[in-house]
Every structure is written in structure tokens, then in C-alpha cells.
Amino acid sequence: MIRFENVSKSYRGQQESVVKNLSLEIPKGKIVVLIGPSGCGKTTCLKMINRLVRITSGKILIDGEDITKQDPIQLRRNMGYVIQQTGIFPHMTVRQNIEIIPTLQREDKDNIALNTLRLMEMVGLDPDEYLDRYPTQLSGGQLQRVGVARAFATNPEIILMDEPFSALDPITRAQLQDELLFLQSNVKKTIVFVTHDMDEAIKIADKIAIINGGILVQYDTPERIMKEPANEYVERFVGPKRLWTKPEFIRAEDIMVTNPATVPEDLPVFKAIEIMRTEHVDSVLVLDSDRHLLGSVSARSALNCADQQVTCASIMVAPQETAAPNRDLVWLLNKFNETGVRTIPVIDGSNRLLGLITTSTLLTTMSQQFSADSRKEAAE
Ligand SMILES: Nc1ncnc2c1ncn2[C@@H]1O[C@H](COP(=O)(O)OP(=O)(O)OP(=O)(O)O)[C@@H](O)[C@H]1O
Ligand SMILES: [Mg+2]
């Protein structure tokens, strides 16, 4: 775990600090993305972690230990670092670039060679074809891959990545993001990743730290940043329709109707019919006195019921499908499609009714996306 405690930085000769009283905890094995406009202090933050930049006040702790108490060379060797614009040494081959630090650390030669093969595989470069090439003989995307392989070469706990993919075309960039996520699913490094790009942040981050003018504005999961931006700045930064590019962040509880028509179990059927008429619905949910969901009664079954004095409980059917409040839009759409149901009650862990998703709720949700889109276009 990396912990910033009230960290500030002012560069020599400058009055204003470029990082202001930053406190932040980066959990072990997670990807944390620092994002913010140019000059807001992202690179400075990374470089304070590996002591390429001196902290003016405050502390950074790694696994509880103050980094200023550690030998900086040793500290850096335990951290992979991919810098803005690769930082690959031009006069060395790909192999030499990847092996430079393990070699400096006098690791076993055979092990290093074996590890290099594994790393090349990992970043999707054919070792036979590329290991002996020089950087000028590689494309930008291939160079970035070498940069990533090199950062992993000493198998460090912590990897710092400063806009590692920013110079790439969108397709290569997306590929490298996918590879990083795949890698991370196996190795679980603590990764601090800097970017300008909100889409990239949302895709790869466990948590996003939004920085503006050296101040931490919000530090949260991508989902919460999109749903509950801390202020207008974050809202603008995230953009109005961003949530819609991530349907898995839209949950049943966000879109359900919270006051669906319900009846108590002992209500006579004719009264249920009245309720359906006044509420303009074609079914009601049947609840017990603690709001536990028991079933539903459709208008048709109620009207066809020979004796309309009997209770709703006696003619109800058990719900075919229910959803937990955190089920996402994709899951819900699939359920509606697979089962052909027209409503799905949302219930909590003890079967109490929270709300109802209907096909028309879904349509409304989708059309809001549409109007957010058109509002944005109108504004442009
Ligand atoms: N060595 C330095 N001496 C003086 N000022 C510096 C130094 N390095 C950076 N700065 C200033 O500190 C501020 C933060 O710079 P930093 O490189 O951390 O920003 P950044 O968020 O990484 O920006 P970018 O997105 O453009 O890479 C900037 O105003 C920059 O000019
Ligand atoms: Mg930078």
C-alpha cells in the first residue's frame, strides 16, 4: 500500500505549490489512476513516490514505511516505471532495454533470459522477431510494449506508469489497455497510472483520483465518480453521457420505479381490480405486512376469477424473476429478452420489495441517454 499523508510540493523558486496537501491511499494490488489537466501535478506525484522529486512537506509511506528512510536506489529498483513517451534507450536493443535492471542487479543470466521471453509473450511481441532490434526499428505501439515489459522485468510490487499509452492510435491503445488488465488479473501489482483520458481511466482503474491545480478533488471508484461527481468540475470532466458508455454501471436501483402498485395479501380481488384501474397498471405485486414479496396478480387473472371476494394471496402467482438492486442494465436486458417477462421486481437480501423494473422503465432509461446525447450536441 502506498500512502500520501498531507503531501505538498513546491519547486525551487516557485511560490505556489504544485501539489497541495494531498492525502491518498493506494491499496495493494489495485490500479489507481491519477487524472487531471496538463500541469496539475500528476507526474510530480509519481516522481515523489520513487523519489525522483523531493517532497516539500508531508510524507509518503510504502507498507507503513516512510520512503525518505529508504535508500532511493533500492526503492526505485523495487518499482517499475514507464515514463511519458517510453524512455526506451535508443542505443540498446529491445533485449538490452528489458534486461538492464535485472543485469545491474546481477541476477542469474539464464533466469533473466527466460524471464525476458515470458515478458515478451506477455506484452504480445514475438521474441524471435523483436528482441535484437533497436528502438528506431519499432513502431510507437511496439515501443510502448517494450516499456511495459521493462517495467515488469524485476517483478516489482509497484509499477508507476506516466501516460504510457498516450502517444498511440486508439486501436493500439485499447489493445494495450486490455493487455494491462489481463496482466494485472494474474500478477496483482500496485499500479499508479497517470492519464489525461477519462475513458482510459474508467476502463482500467479500480479507483480514480481526480486532481485539479495540485488538489485532490475526488477519489473514488469509476462508478461513483460517474454517478456522484463531487462537484461541477468533476461533472464537467466526466461529461454528461459518460455513464451510458458503461451500461454495467447502471444498476437496477438507479432505474427502478420505487413506488410500484402493491396490495396486501389478504386484500379481496375486487379491490385489487380497483387499484389496477386507478393506477393504470395491469398487475399488482402482493406483499405481506413486512413488505416481503409474495407474488403478483394480473388484471386478467383477477377479472377471470369466479369469486372476486377471495384474497389476492389465493390467486397470485410467484414472481418468475427477481433482481438484486445491484444488477446491471446488461443483466436486466438479457433477463427480459431470455424470459419474456414484462416486469422484474427488485428485492433486498431478505426478499423485501424495493422497486420494480418494467420494459418501459428500460425504454425511458435508454431514451434519457438519447436526450443527454442530443443536449450535448445542441450545446456544441
Ligand atoms: N522541475 C521543475 N521545476 C519547476 N517546475 C516544475 C518542474 N517540474 C514540473 N514543474 C511544474 O509543476 C507543475 C506540475 O507539473 P507536472 O509535470 O507534475 O504536471 P502533469 O500533471 O504531469 O502535466 P502533464 O499532463 O502536462 O504531463 C507544472 O506547472 C510544471 O510546470
Ligand atoms: Mg505529466
Q: What is the CATH number of the domain that holds 175?
A: 3.40.50.300
- 153 plus 212 within the same structural domain: yes
Closest residue (by CA) to atom 28 of ligand 1? Answer: 39
Residue 46 located in a structural domain:
yes
Q: Which ligand is nearest to the CA of 18?
A: 1
CA distance 193 to 216: 15
- 72 plus 202 within the same structural domain: yes
CA distance 84 to 258: 48
Helix (H) or strand (E) holding 318: none
- 96 plus 150 within the same structural domain: yes
- 231 plus 265 within the same structural domain: no
123 in Cβ contact with 145 (< 8 Å): yes
Q: Which residue has the cell 389496477?
A: 276
- 234 plus 170 within the same structural domain: yes
pLDDT given for residue 378 in this prediction: 47
Residue 159's beta-bridge partner residues?
80, 191
CA distance 359 to 341: 9
Name the residue among 32, 135, 148, 45 with its Cα closest to residue 93. 135
Closest residue (by CA) to atom 24 of ligand 1? Answer: 38
3-state helix, strand, coil in the chain (%, to 5): 45, 25, 35
CA distance 72 to 9: 18
204 in Cβ contact with 33 (< 8 Å): yes
- Which one of 177, 210, 244 terminates a domain? 244
Name the residue among 3, 7, 100, 6 with its Cα closest to residue 53. 7
Residue from 15, 22, 44 to probe ligand 1 pocket by mutation (most atoms less than 8 Å from CB): 44
CA distance 125 to 131: 9
- 281 plus 334 within the same structural domain: yes
Residue 373 located in a structural domain:
no
pLDDT given for residue 87 in this prediction: 74
Ligand 1 geometric centre to CA of 174 (Å)? 27
Phi–psi pair at 9, nearest 5 degrees: -140, 125
- 49 plus 169 within the same structural domain: yes
Range of the structural domain that residue 304 is part of: 253-364
pLDDT given for residue 121 in this prediction: 86
Q: Which residue ranges have their beta carbon within 6 Å of ligand 1?
A: 11, 18, 38-44, 196
Enumerate residues 6+ apart whose C-beta is below 8 A from 139. Answer: none
Ligand 2 geometric centre to CA of 45 (Å)? 9
Closest residue (by CA) to atom 26 of ligand 1? Answer: 38
Residue 129 located in a structural domain:
yes
- 309 plus 237 within the same structural domain: no
Closest residue (by CA) to atom 16 of ligand 1? Answer: 41
pLDDT given for residue 377 in this prediction: 47
pLDDT given for residue 374 in this prediction: 45
- 138 plus 219 within the same structural domain: yes
Q: Which ligand is nearest to the CA of 42?
A: 1
- 21 plus 140 within the same structural domain: yes
Point out the ligand 1 atom lying closest to the alpha carbon of residue 45.
18
Helix (H) or strand (E) holding 24: strand 19-26
- How many helices (H) and strands (E) are present in the chain, helices listed first? 16, 15
- Rg of the chain over all Cα atoms, to the nearest angstrom: 28
- 33 plus 175 within the same structural domain: yes
pLDDT given for residue 176 in this prediction: 85
- Grid cell at residue 45: 506525484
Closest residue (by CA) to atom 22 of ligand 1? Answer: 43
- Which one of 216, 244, 272 terminates a domain? 244
CA distance 140 to 86: 9
Q: Name the H helices within 261-347.
A: 269-279, 299-303, 312-315, 329-339
Type of residue at 254: D
Residue from 9, 20, 40, 166 to probe ligand 1 pocket by mutation (most atoms less than 8 Å from CB): 40
Residue 379 located in a structural domain:
no
pLDDT given for residue 368 in this prediction: 62
- Which one of 227, 244, 261 terminates a domain? 244
Residue 377 located in a structural domain:
no
- 217 plus 290 within the same structural domain: no
CA distance 207 to 2: 13
Residue 130 located in a structural domain:
yes
pLDDT in tens, the chain (380 residues): 999 999 999 998 888 899 999 999 999 999 999 999 888 999 999 999 999 999 999 999 999 999 999 999 889 888 988 876 667 888 999 999 999 888 877 889 999 999 999 889 888 899 999 999 999 898 878 888 898 888 888 888 999 999 988 877 788 788 889 888 988 888 899 999 999 888 899 999 999 999 999 999 999 999 889 888 899 889 888 876 666 667 788 889 988 999 999 999 999 999 999 999 999 899 999 999 999 999 999 999 999 999 989 999 999 999 999 999 999 988 998 898 889 888 999 999 999 999 999 888 787 777 665 444 444 444 44
Residue 228 located in a structural domain:
yes
Point out the ligand 1 atom lying closest to the alpha carbon of residue 44.
18
Closest residue (by CA) to atom 12 of ligand 1? Answer: 18
pTM across the whole model:
0.75
Residue 162's beta-bridge partner residues?
194
Q: What is the CATH number of the domain that holds 280?
A: 3.10.580.10
**Structural domain total, the chain:** 2
Q: Which ligand is nearest to the CA of 40?
A: 1
Ligand 1 geometric centre to CA of 34 (Å)? 14
Residue 99 located in a structural domain:
yes
